[in-house]
Chain A
Amino acid sequence: MLETKLTEEMVQFTSEAKSWEETIRIASAPLLDKGSIEPRYVEKIISNVKELGPYIILMPNVAMPHARPEDGVNETGISLLVSKESVYFQGEKSARIFLVLASSDATSHLELLKEISEILTDEEKLNELLAAKNYQDIKNLF
């Protein structure tokens, strides 16, 4: 499922670290352009993180920004931003990988999450993801 959802136009690479808010907006842009999510979905993610803390950080270096289906999701999808520099959240936590997840209902994203989990639990693949410079590097992980 990652292979069909995480297409080339969904993946971005940045060299300069911006604020975490700005990074989430940039990382979400492909999903917005495609119509998978509405602008309020992105703002909800940002306000949730401000309210609840950076719960979107799955592990050191990896964030999965997401909110709920009713927060403005039209279609299940995923986008990826790889930042060369660490992006800092409140406190000490930081991330370089931003996987923006949008789920149109409570179950349709579960297959995607399983596939992502497989990549992140594999140390070799995680290192390849962190070092990725182009879409081909990402595609090799699937």
Chain B
Amino acid sequence: MKILAVCGNGLGTSFMLSLNVNKVLKDLNIDGECKNMDLASAKTESADYYIGSPEIMEQLEDGNKKVIPVVNMVSQNEIAEKVKKHILEAE
């Protein structure tokens, strides 16, 4: 499973988020990898899921992409909760 952590320029916020998403994936035994990317590139990059702040997810959403909005980029609790809701329970 490919997950993209997205932020405004793909270097800071999204990297920090990807660190925590990868920890959560491991904890939940989900076979997948999270990479980070900027918003403009992410629009044309295919992935199973996109994760990032609600504002960024709103701009990425095009009706086909599966987006996961998170408020706290470093909270493993929130990320785990969202991953469970959007990935595990949706499948």
List residues of chain A with CB under 8 Å of any chain B CB. Answer: 48-49, 52-60, 64, 66-69, 101, 103, 106, 109-110, 113-114, 116-117, 120-121
Contact = CB atoms under 8 A, between A and B. Distances in A.
A116 B16 contact: yes
B13 A60 contact: no
Contacts of A48: 8-9
B11 interface: yes
Interface in B29-56: 39, 52-53, 55-56
- Most chain A C-beta atoms within 10 Å of own C-beta, residue among B11, B56, B72: B11
Given A64-B13, A117-B16, A55 B74 contact: no
A117 B23 CA distance: 12
A109 B8 contact: no
B74 A117 contact: yes
B72 A106 contact: no
Q: Which 4 residue pairs of A and B lie closest in terms of their CB atoms, listed nearest first?
A: A53-B55, A55-B8, A59-B72, A66-B12
Interface residues on B, range: 20 to 34
A114 B13 contact: no
Main secondary structure, interface of B, reads mixed
Main secondary structure, interface of A, reads mixed
Contact of A59 (B19, B52, B55, B71): B71
Given A52-B39, A52-B56, A55-B53, A103 B11 contact: yes
Interface of B: 7-9, 11-13, 15-16, 19-20, 39, 52-53, 55-56, 59, 71-76
A114 B19 contact: yes
Contacts of B13: 55-56, 58, 64, 66
Nearest to B23: A121
Contacts of B9: 48, 66-68
Contacts of B11: 66, 68-69, 103, 106, 109
B55 A54 contact: yes
A133 to B, nearest CB: 23
